[in-house]
Amino acid sequence: MADTDATGSSAAGRFLPSGGGPLCDALLDSRQRWRDLVHLAADIAFEIDACGRFTFLSPDTVLGWPAGTLLGQAAELVLAAERPAEIFNPFRPIATCRRRRAWVRRADGTLACLAFSIAPMLDESGRVAGARGVASDVTEQDGKEQATAAALRRGALLDHILWEMRREVLAPQMMRAVLESLMQAMGAEGVAVLDLKGEASDLNQPDLLVLHQAGGGTAAVKDAAAEMLARAGAAPVSATGPDGRMLMAMLAATRFDGRTGFILWRTPGSRPWDADDHQLAASAGGVVRVLLEHVAAQSEMSRQAQTDPLTGLLNRRAFLDELARRVERLDYEGLPGTLMFADLDCFKALNDALGHEVGDAALLITAALLREIVRPTDLIARLGGDEFALWLDGADHLAAAERAEQIRWAIPERLGPISAGSGIQPTVSIGIAARDSNESVQELMRRADAAMYAVKRGGRNHWRVAHRRPPGDGPAAAREGGRSP
């Protein structure tokens, strides 16, 4: 043991009487028992003088340092300067303390966390003349405790997020609750879920879509967020934005989109994101990812519930629901609108002669043609079988008649190749009804449907406009389009 004082004399010798004998043996045995108890209870025992220098150290090697090289040196030299805000100074005690932690430097430069128990030594006047103490290496324990504390914080955050989620029913509201909870738990100014379009290498002109957000400042961080997400992986990355905001971003890739992620930001001058924040964000990222998939699944189910599975056009129910909303808006704005019913001629004969695959192809070709002819803002639906409906926003019967004539000429041309050799020439019959003010949707549909069947009875392959009959008048006036060329 290196029990030596500052002058190099044996620390044990200072307690030995010069004559030896039984008293000397008893003192040696007592001191050995004391040393054994200290070593069993702690990793290090030490004494320091009034100037804070080591005057006693045990065992021979302390944290990799030979004890002899530290004796007479200022004890504060072994304190870890990297953690000044986290430590107290165990070598300047003003009162007895137990199990206080401080970080010190080992001989190889690595850091160790020691739990100190220290008592100051007082001189005859009551002034501090030094201190003695023991310390135990709790580096591994401290790391485990920090990991446990971080896990508990992550667990508490996830519990809170999931609790807020359960209070909502619809996926978008769930996402808002999650983002608000995450923002508060992380001390963030705002958080946003973003969809980064295009390739990850295209950093100059990132195309970024904000899917969900909470808090403020999204516009100020979008450019930096796009660049961070373009380079990010599954682990969070941090950066300081051009305006001083503290940014943290990570991908939350779903099965449907590999470039979706989220970003959190703190106000300028806030503390930077640390490793613990990164772990919390990574844990929350799993919830965000699940919710994004849930939102996508709900959107897909809604789309499927509203669309015809073959053509992708609106189905009857979705068309009628949207038509009612459009009509209500047009009444408010005082604008016109026109409904068209289009029915393929000879469709059953085509199906029977060439099979359902050719019939399906005819429906798909017709749907594509209708999309080409009408505007994106208009409505197109497959009502069932070979019957289609179109709603033209803001158009009168004259504009609708122009569209009908285009369709009438294009259908034989488009469907001719698939019916070639069968002797069947598919055509289309179209009924048109321009809505009058205060006319119900049901009455409007009845007029368009009646006009279409009048065309069917009249020889097919043309269009007919049904004008609303004033109360007390005779049959409704009608205008018809030409026959096949």
Residue 302 belongs to some domain of the structure: no
Where among 110, 137, 164 does a domain terminate? 137
CB atoms under 10 Å from CB of 291, counted, come to: 23
Residue 306 belongs to some domain of the structure: no
Q: How far apart are CA 345 and CA 370, in angstroms?
A: 16
Same-domain pairing of 127 and 153:
no
Q: How far apart are CA 320 and CA 442, in angstroms?
A: 10
CB atoms under 10 Å from CB of 65, counted, come to: 17
Amino acid at 144: K
Do residues 317 and 379 touch, judged by C-beta distance below 8 A? no
pLDDT at res. 343: 95
Same-domain pairing of 225 and 149:
yes
> Could you tell me the sign of the dihedral formed by the alpha carbons of 193, 195, 201, 206, in that order?
negative
pLDDT at res. 421: 80
Q: Omega into 471 within 30° of 0, i.e. cis?
A: no
Residue 329 belongs to some domain of the structure: yes
Average pLDDT over residues 32-52: 77
Q: How far apart are CA 136 and CA 107, in angstroms?
A: 17
Same-domain pairing of 115 and 187:
no
Q: Which residues contact 428 (CB under 8 A, 6 or more apart)?
A: 342, 343, 344, 345, 366, 407, 408, 411, 461
Q: Which residues contact 72 (CB under 8 A, 6 or more apart)?
A: 6, 53, 54, 55
Flag whether pLDDT at 415 surpasses 70: yes
Whole-model pTM over 0.75:
no
DSSP string, 63-116: TTEEHHHHTTSBGGGGB-TT-TTT---TTS-SS-EEEEEEEEE-TTS-EEEEEE
Residue 253 belongs to some domain of the structure: yes
pLDDT at res. 456: 92
How big is the chain, counted in residues? Answer: 485
pLDDT at res. 300: 67
Same-domain pairing of 332 and 412:
yes
pLDDT in tens, 70-129: 999 998 888 876 554 445 788 888 888 888 888 888 888 888 888 898 989 888 888 888
Same-domain pairing of 129 and 159:
no
Do residues 128 and 147 touch, judged by C-beta distance below 8 A? no
Q: How far apart are CA 435 and CA 341, in angstroms?
A: 14
pLDDT in tens, 313-350: 999 999 998 998 888 888 777 788 999 999 999 999 99
Same-domain pairing of 156 and 286:
yes
Same-domain pairing of 471 and 455:
yes
Same-domain pairing of 26 and 57:
yes
Long-range contacts: 209-214, Cβ < 8 Å, 24+?
Answer: 211/260, 211/292, 212/172, 212/175, 212/176, 212/179, 213/179, 214/176, 214/179, 214/180, 214/182, 214/183, 214/190
CATH number at residue 458: 3.30.70.270
CATH number at residue 121: 3.30.450.20
Where among 268, 296, 324 does a domain terminate? 296
Residue 303 belongs to some domain of the structure: no
CATH number at residue 225: 3.30.450.270
Amino acid at 407: I
Which of 132-146, 235-249, 449-463 is most confident? 449-463
Flag whether pLDDT at 292 surpasses 60: yes
Q: How far apart are CA 338 and CA 68, in angstroms?
A: 100
Q: How far apart are CA 31 and CA 38, in angstroms?
A: 11
Same-domain pairing of 185 and 334:
no
> Rg (Cα) of the chain, in Å, rounded?
42
SS3 169: coil
Smallest Cα–Cα separation from 1: which of 41, 58, 40? 58
Per the structure, the count of domains in the chain is: 3
Long-range contacts: 372-381, Cβ < 8 Å, 24+?
Answer: 373/403, 373/406, 373/407, 373/410, 374/403, 379/314, 379/319, 379/322, 379/323, 379/326, 380/313, 380/314, 381/308, 381/313, 381/314, 381/315, 381/316, 381/318, 381/319
Same-domain pairing of 173 and 262:
yes
Looking at per-residue pLDDT, the higher value among 340 and 145 belongs to: 340
Average pLDDT over residues 422-444: 89
Q: How far apart are CA 53 and CA 112, in angstroms?
A: 20
Do residues 74 and 52 touch, judged by C-beta distance below 8 A? yes
Residue 7 belongs to some domain of the structure: no
- DSSP H or E run through 373: helix 356-373
What is the chain's mean pLDDT, rounded? 79
Same-domain pairing of 396 and 361:
yes
CA count, 13 A, side-chain hemisphere, 278: 12
Residue 212 belongs to some domain of the structure: yes
Range of the domain at 39: 13-137
Same-domain pairing of 127 and 163:
no
Beta bridge partners of 45: 58, 134
DSSP 394: T
SS3 334: coil
Smallest Cα–Cα separation from 266: which of 288, 234, 287, 240? 240
Cβ burial 124-162 (10 Å sphere, 16+ → b, else e):
eeeeeebbbbbbbbbbeebeeeeeeeeeeebeebbeebe
Residue 5 belongs to some domain of the structure: no
Q: Range with the lowest mean pLDDT among 64-68, 204-208, 406-410?
A: 204-208
